[in-house]
Chain A
Amino acid sequence: MAERRSRHRRRSEVTLRPQVLAWLMPMHVVLSASGRVRQVGPTLKRLFAGQRLVGRSILSLFEMRGPTRIADMAAFADRAGHKLNLIPRGEVPALRLRGVAVPLGRPDDGWLLNLSFGIDCPRAVAMLHLSDADFAPTDMTMEVLYLAEANAAVMGEMRAMSGRLDGARVQAEEEALTDPLTGLRNRRASDSLLARQCRERMAFALLHLDLDYFKQVNDWLGHAAGDHVLVAVAAVLRRVCRAMDSLARVGGDEFVLILPGMTDGPRIARIAERIVDELKQPILFKGEICRISGSIGYVIVREGEAADPSGVLAAADVALYAAKQAGRGRVNEGKALPRALNAPARPPARPPDGPTDGPTDGPSARVAVPGE
Chain B
Amino acid sequence: MVLPMFGLFLRALQGYVSTTFGADPWGQILTRAGFMGQGFEPLLPYDMALFHKVLNATSAVLERPADVVLEDLGTYIVTNSANQAPRRLLRFGGVSYADFLLSVEELPDRARLALPDIQIPPVLLEEVAHGHFTLSCPLAMPCLGHVLIGVLRAMADDYGALVVIEAEPLEGTGVVLSIRLHEADYASGRKFVLAPVEVAHG
A154 to B194, CA, bound (A): 18
Dominant SS among interface residues on chain B:
loop
Q: Is the Cβ of B95 less than 8 Å from the Cβ of A149?
A: no
> B200 at the A/B interface (Cβ < 8 Å)?
yes
Q: Is the Cβ of B114 less than 8 Å from the Cβ of A151?
A: yes
Taking CB atoms, residues of chain A closer than 8 Å to B85 are 149-150, 152-153, 156
Q: Is the Cβ of B199 less than 8 Å from the Cβ of A123?
A: yes
A147 to B42, CA, bound (A): 18
Q: Is the Cβ of B199 less than 8 Å from the Cβ of A146?
A: no
Q: Is the Cβ of B43 less than 8 Å from the Cβ of A161?
A: yes
Taking CB atoms, residues of chain A closer than 8 Å to B41 are 161, 164
Q: Is the Cβ of B43 less than 8 Å from the Cβ of A157?
A: yes
The count of chain B contact residues (Cβ–Cβ below 8 Å) is 21
Give A132 Cβ to nearest chain B Cβ, in Å: 6
Q: Is the Cβ of A153 less than 8 Å from the Cβ of B89?
A: yes
> A126 at the A/B interface (Cβ < 8 Å)?
yes
> A68 at the A/B interface (Cβ < 8 Å)?
no
> A145 at the A/B interface (Cβ < 8 Å)?
yes
Q: How many A-B contacts at CB < 8 Å in the complex?
A: 61
> B196 at the A/B interface (Cβ < 8 Å)?
yes
Q: Is the Cβ of B113 less than 8 Å from the Cβ of A126?
A: no
The count of chain A contact residues (Cβ–Cβ below 8 Å) is 25
Taking CB atoms, residues of chain B closer than 8 Å to A151 are 114
Taking CB atoms, residues of chain A closer than 8 Å to B44 are 161
Q: Is the Cβ of A152 less than 8 Å from the Cβ of B194?
A: no
Q: Is the Cβ of B194 less than 8 Å from the Cβ of A132?
A: yes
Given contacts A122-B199, A126-B199, A133-B95, contact A145 B114 (CB under 8 A): no
Smallest CB gap from A131: residue in B: B194
- Given A125-B194, A126-B202, A149-B196, 16 more A-B residue pairs with CB atoms under 8 Å apart are A123-B199, A126-B195, A131-B194, A132-B94, A132-B194, A142-B194, A146-B89, A146-B92, A150-B85, A150-B114, A151-B114, A152-B196, A153-B89, A154-B114, A158-B43, A161-B43
- Listed in ascending order, the chain B residues whose CB lies under 8 Å from chain A are 41-44, 85, 88-89, 92, 94-95, 110, 113-115, 193-196, 199-200, 202
What are 22 contact pairs spanning A and B, CB under 8 A? Answer: A122-B199, A123-B202, A125-B195, A125-B199, A131-B193, A132-B94, A133-B95, A142-B194, A143-B113, A145-B92, A145-B194, A146-B89, A146-B110, A147-B114, A150-B110, A150-B114, A152-B85, A153-B85, A154-B43, A156-B85, A158-B43, A161-B42
